[in-house]
Structure 1
Amino acid sequence: MKAGSGIPLWVVALLAALCLAVLAWTTFGFVVPFKHETGQAVLDTYFAGYDKSAVFHMQKLLDENETATRLLRAMYFGPELVFPALLTALLFLAFLKLGPVSSWFGRSVHPLVGKAIYLLPFIYGIADYGENISSLIAFGSGGPSTFATQLLPWMTRLKFASLAICFIVIARLAIARWLSPRED
């Protein structure tokens, strides 16, 4: 039995399909209508990051546009409640499906390195939920929160950085597995 084969591929495929469905719901149900309503993208989609001035600009925009505010809040209380958990589970199962860390690198690795690699999907999930909570606080009706306004750009950067690292590690390992000689 090969390492990581205890997780059925259909489970990983099902999680991937659910992630795509929720991502489509988010995109076509909220992100596109928000852009149509305001002419500006939701801050969650800024892959390169943004600064506090973008947060202040978004606060001003939302103060002037009640429809955009309702769209953003509905997104955070709808698909954004489940998407980070689904994607975190998918990434973690993909890591488990690829087998033990020592088999990834073809040599023994320090146990802390292995544990740190398996934590990457959870860092993404925590950062994504942190970004969502920070957005709700920063753009809430109770007035702008200085802490949430300062935290929001950093949570977005951490979310995309950890997600990119996860994808890079998974791609590297999948390619290494594909190129490695088969054991029959």
Structure 2
Amino acid sequence: MNAGSRIPLRIITLLAAICLGVLAWTTFGFVVPFKHETGQVVLDVYFAGYDELTVGRMRRLLGQNEIANNLLRAMYVGPEMIFPALFAALLLLVLMRLRPGGSYSARPLDPFLVKLVYAVPFLYGFADYGENISSLVAFGGGVRADQAAQLLPWLTRLKFASLAICLIVIARFAIIGAMHQDKGET
């Protein structure tokens, strides 16, 4: 029996439901009110990334609008404090359940590559936390605000790149697993 097969599907389902609940809390408790208050979206939802100019505009907006500033801060010390860890754990458990391994182009996968695949959800979690911390610092106006503002777009790109890699790997191994099940049934 493989270690991944011992992860009950109900645990993954429960973790996915918790992630959806925290995401709903973030969206309806902070993102939607922020958009209503300012007419703009929070930088966390820029999937394609953004640049330092966008960060500068957000800094000016938050400096002029105390309600928006409080909403953003509350989001980062509220649901965004737990969501990266929950979602990284979900990605890792799904990968473990799918048991990346087997072969690629008729050659067995190197065990180091499998470990590297398992590291990607952690990279996502660290990048998301880094983005959150950089946002708090960049929008807080301290001595490190400019450095955090420069770092922020890169952390967001790293977060979404690692998430995309996770989703691609999950899809690949889910398809391979389904193909192997079909071959076993015939």
Q: TM-score when scaled to structure 1?
A: 0.94
**Residues 157-172 of structure 1: pairs in structure 2 closer than 5 A:** 157-172=157-172
Deviations 1:131-153 (A, max 9, x none): 00000000004366221011000
- Give percent identity, aligned residues only: 61
Mapped to 2, the partners of 1:174 and 1:3 lie a distance apart of 17
Rounded Cα–Cα distance in structure 2 between residues aligned with 1:59 and 1:161:
25
RMSD of equivalent CA atoms: 1.6
Kindly tell me: are residues 2 and 119 of structure 1, through their superposed partners in 2, closer, same or farther at Cα, counting changes over 3 Å? closer
After superposing on structure 2, the runs of 4+ consecutive aligned residues of structure 1 that deviate more than 2 Å are 1-4, 101-107, 141-144, 179-184
Distance in 2 of aligned mates of 1:128 and 1:11: 23
Q: Is 1:132 equivalent to 2:155 in the alignment?
A: no
- Kept in 1: contact 2:102–2:109 (CA 8 A): no
Single out whichever of 102-111 and 167-176 deviates more from structure 2: 102-111
SS in structure 2 of the partner of residue 47 of structure 1:
coil
Is the CA contact 2:124–2:160 (under 8 Å) kept in the aligned structure 1?
Answer: yes
Aligned AA (1:55): V
Residue 37 of structure 2 is matched in structure 1 by: 37
**TM-score with structure 2 setting the length:** 0.93
Q: Deviations over 1:9-55 (max 9, x none)?
A: 00100110000000000000000000010011000100000000000
Q: Cα distance, 1:103 vs. partner? A: 2.5
1-10 or 155-164, which deviates more: 1-10
Contact 2:103 2:109 survives alignment (8 Å): no
Structure 2 equivalent of residue 20 of structure 1: 20
The residue number in structure 1 matching 2:95 is: 95
Gaps of 5+ in 1: none
Identify unmatched segments of 5+ residues in structure 2: none
SS at match of 2:87: helix
Q: Distance in 2 between matches of 1:153 and 1:13?
A: 32
Conservation of the 8 A alpha-carbon contact between 2:49 and 2:153: yes
Query: In the aligned structure 1, how far is the partner of 2:114 from the partner of 2:77?
Result: 34
